[in-house]
Amino acid sequence: MRDVIQLLPDSIANQIAAGEVIQRPASVVKELLENAVDAGGQSLQLILKDGGKTLIQVIDDGCGMSPTDARMSLERHATSKLQSADDLFGLRTKGFRGEALASIAAVAQLELKTRRQTDELGTHLIVEGSEVLSQEPCQCPVGTSMSVKRLFFNVPARRQFLKSDAAEYKHLREEFVRIALAHPELSFTLFNNDKQELQLPATKLRRRVLSLFPKKLESLLVPIEEDTDVLGIKGFVGKPGAAKKSRGEQYFFVNDRFIKSSYLHHAVRSAYDELLPEKAHPIYFIFLEIDPARIDINVHPTKQEIKFEDERLIYNYLKATIRHGLARASVTPTLDFESDNVFKPAKIGYLRSMGNDLDPSQPLASKINESSSSVSSSGSGVDTPPSESRRQANNQRHWERMYEVLGQEAEEEQQPRKSVFELGSAADSEEGEIIPSRFSEESEDTPSPTTREDKPPYQLHRRYIVSPLKSGLLLIDQRAAHQRILYEDFLRQLRAEKSPSQQNLFPQTMELSVADAGLLEELIPELRSLGFEIEAFGGQSYIVRGVPADLAGKANEVELVQQMLDAYRTEIDPQLDTHERMARSLARSAAVKHGQILERSEMDDLIARLFACEQHQLSPSGRRRCYITFELDELEDRFGK
């Protein structure tokens, strides 16, 4: 019987290795930029075309290579970083595996030009699919220029899985940002489709962060620094006011290498303790310096995961360092010896509804004032008591507001009103299926509009809308319901012609991070069809000249766009097309919030529009009900018989 095991040809072995190392164009950028940094380059250029599918070129002014080294660099397991196995435990360089260039050359057309300072002529190499087509001397500057063309040209199955040019460029730019953050002492330039996108001169870390992310972060960054026998920690964390609903600006670097670690992220999150609400994420740019012998960085092909010798120790050091930095910036609670309750924790602007945390032994006026003083101090991050005059002014303002609300409710109770189903907005075409008694589209026990009580709806804890029924009551989640309404409205507009836009009297300017700017460029066509008028204003700045007419005056335009970008980034359901994803994201950012006070007319309108939706039972995500009903019999059973 013939033997069946045989050695693979080098070309196939290289393609298999490329499948581990080269996942998309961003993987190529990572490997080439890291090699340029290791070569001692002080000025690095990244040139891209068509999302990296047509061209990825990295030019550096580093040490360059000899003709022999240039040829050897394309062989598998060829590296200048390792001489023995022991060297693996003392590595501080990046590109050490010795498979990157060989893997890239196996799935692309590669052109290499390089020259050392001591050489008069450089070397020009052309490689295609692991095959060296030519090698000859050439004139070129000191350093190395590496061009990768037609990535995956010989692996069409891999190429067809690449995303759109805009989506791939987003990943490319994120990889560029990570390396630029890790090395602020170097100069970086980014060109995309013959246009210069970024010019980053050598500078300090703080300046590098502010050149890549919105300028508003300047007042929201808190420096942290700690040196111990085990590790060094430095960088910046954001004040609670800079927290976001998505994990955007969160960067960990170990020995100047970007890593991902849910364990270390938990340490950062726990350092904020009660300073942030549950679903808010802090921003941070944290650099750890640690003895390479205490870590293992060769546990993943992309080298973005690291094993620590003592994770618990790193966790505790990191948490303590961040808490110390926040305390120095007067963000964490401090002792005020003039206050009656010196241990009262700061909520940093995120207060629960009034009454949940109030002491029943205090007078109502002081309770209201205590909550308002916490809110007023949230800008600085410290819960400091206001002056006596300000306390009295807040007191009077809250009492006046309370009497005004009570008087308004008394008037509304005396005024009869029409049922919400008699308003101008039409309900479902099948009028008999408007409010199911149980949560099911197929429920046959749904009450008709005549079963509704002729009484006004009211808010419960500024979170739910309660509408009485003759057979019980209807409880609506105001945010989930509004999201459903907006989602269906936006989806219709995206699939139809351009929607009307309300021009701003004073256009708003916003500055975005590099990643957000790339995402916004990708979404501008859809945003314009919704009625947004957004124009680039140089760099990462944009001008919002108009918003959809339905949203005009209801929210800050800049905050609305930024929240939409955060929501879109986290909306990763693969079954959604771009329009559905956009409509869902914008609905999440524009919907009323929990804790927002609604007028009676707004509640009436929300109820009417909800039951005019095609699918009014669920929020757009499908994970939350828009409303539930309670029958009188069910309520009676809850009290017992």
Q: Is the pLDDT of residue 56 over 80?
A: yes
**Average pLDDT over all residues of the chain:** 75
Place of tokens 């929990």: 594
Closest CA to 578 of 471, 508, 515, 491: 491
Place of tokens 């730019």: 173
**Picking from 10-19, 216-225, 249-258, which range would have the lowest pLDDT averaged per residue?**
10-19
Instruction: Annotate 244-258 with DSSP letters as a single string.
Output: BSS--SEEEEETTEE
Q: How many CA atoms lie within 13 A of 449 on its CB side?
A: 16
- Looking at residue 115, its pLDDT comes to 95
At residue 282, what are phi and psi to the nearest 5 degrees? -75, 155
Report, as an integer, the average pLDDT of 44-70: 93
- 3-state DSSP of 434-466: CCCCCCCCCCCCCCCHHHECCCCCEEECCCEEE
Task: List CB contacts of 525: < 8 A, sequence separation 6 or more.
Answer: none
Q: What is the pLDDT of residues 239-270, one digit of tens each?
A: 988 888 777 789 999 988 898 888 888 899 88
Task: List CB contacts of 592: < 8 A, sequence separation 6 or more.
Answer: 478, 479, 482, 598, 606
Closest CA to 527 of 582, 450, 461: 582
Instruction: Annotate 300-357 with DSSP letters as a single string.
Output: STT----EES-HHHHHHHHHHHHHHHHHHTT-S----TTSS-TTPPP-TT-PPPTTSS
Residues 294, 310 contacting (CB under 8 angstroms): yes
Amino acid at 446: T
Q: What is the pLDDT of residues 287-330, one digit of tens each?
A: 999 988 887 766 555 566 777 888 888 899 999 999 999 988 87
Q: Under DSSP, is residue 209 helix (H, G, I), strand (E, B) or coil? A: helix
Q: Is the pLDDT of residue 55 over 70?
A: yes
Closest CA to 240 of 317, 355, 333: 333
585 vs 560: CA distance, rounded Å: 10
Report, as an integer, the average pLDDT of 365-371: 39
Q: Is the pLDDT of residue 573 over 70?
A: no
- Looking at residue 342, its pLDDT comes to 37
Strand 458-460 versus strand 307-308 pairing type = unpaired
Residues 370, 343 contacting (CB under 8 angstroms): no
278 vs 605: CA distance, rounded Å: 31
Q: What is the pLDDT of residues 495-543, one digit of tens each?
A: 776 666 777 777 778 888 777 787 788 787 878 877 788 887 776 788 8
Buried b (16+ CB within 10 A) or exposed e, 171-199: bbbbbbbbbbbbbbebbbbbbbeeeebbe
Residues 542, 558 contacting (CB under 8 angstroms): no
Q: Looking at the chain, how many residues does it have?
A: 641
Rg (C-alpha) for the chain, rounded Å, is 30
Q: Which has more confidence, 318 or 573?
A: 318
- Looking at residue 443, its pLDDT comes to 42
